[in-house]
Amino acid sequence: MKILSSIAISSLLVPALQAAQPIYDEDQSYNRSTEYSYGPIERVEVNSSSNYYLEAYVYNSTGNTNCSQANILIESSYQTLNSLALTQTPFGYVAHGKLDKGYESQPKTLKLDCQNDLTENFNVYHKIPATPSINLSSSLHGSDWVPPYRYRPGFFRQLDYQGQTFIDNQSPDGSCVEGVTGYLPTLSIPSEEKFHSNSFSRAGKARYSSIFYPHLNRNIICKNSGGTTVFYERWDLPKYDPDNINVTYEMVTR
């Protein structure tokens, strides 16, 4: 009698697992949307602009596409950062979920485990950029100081401002908006226009109210599909000491 080993029997009964075929982000760029020329997914489009929550629309290429898992990976190491939920929709899926803090400046990848109508397995990848980076340097020089008198604070008759910023949106479809409080020269950052990176500078006169609001403020908000960065510039003008002009810079991520 011929005896088969247990290994041989199991190889006869259990079919070999099919290795998943990778489908990478074809344009190799950090765009908000990626279209795929083949495979179970036709398009992935990120609908969020948060460092701490991601929502992506996943459009199936056929009606029989089945996606079982969605993960966010650190691009440099392919280490799994977070698992996302998958909600079925008429067009495919919505991948959504929270992202851990501390990884704002690192590019990431959305990985989808999907199967087509032929039960072939695929790993579909979509690149997610790091949050935008904003660097700003500025100066404010006051002249023609008018000393305080009785209940009126002192003030400068003239303020000369100079500022320069460099913005890297980390993505070709990143965009920014700029806002100022008080009369402060804008840096002429194109509002809501898409650009990857650029520098902007401006010199001009500034004005303020020493009685009602002795401050000048600027905020720059830039966003891409990986997150939002806000840069704050605040000038505090003196009421009594002309040498006491102070500036505060702060950058936060959302």
User: With 60 as the cut, is the pLDDT of residue 45 above it?
Assistant: yes
Determine the Cα–Cα distance for residues 64 and 82; give it in Å rounded to an integer.
26
Q: Is the pLDDT of residue 2 over 60?
A: no
Rounded to an integer, what distance in angstroms lies between the CA atom of residue 121 and that of residue 239?
69
pLDDT digits (tens, 9 = 90+) for 172-212: 999 999 999 889 999 999 998 999 999 999 999 999 999 99
Amino acid identity at 240: Y
Residue 141 is given by DSSP the state E
Domain covering 19-128: architecture: Sandwich (2.60)
**Digit-coded pLDDT (tens) for 126-138:** 999 999 999 999 9
Helices (H) and strands (E) in the chain, counts: 1, 16
Q: What is the pLDDT of residue 15?
A: 42
Summarize pLDDT for 139-183 with one digit per residue, the tens.
999 999 999 999 999 999 999 999 999 999 999 999 999 999 889
Chain centre to alpha carbon of residue 49 = 6
Domain ranges of the chain: 19-128, 133-253
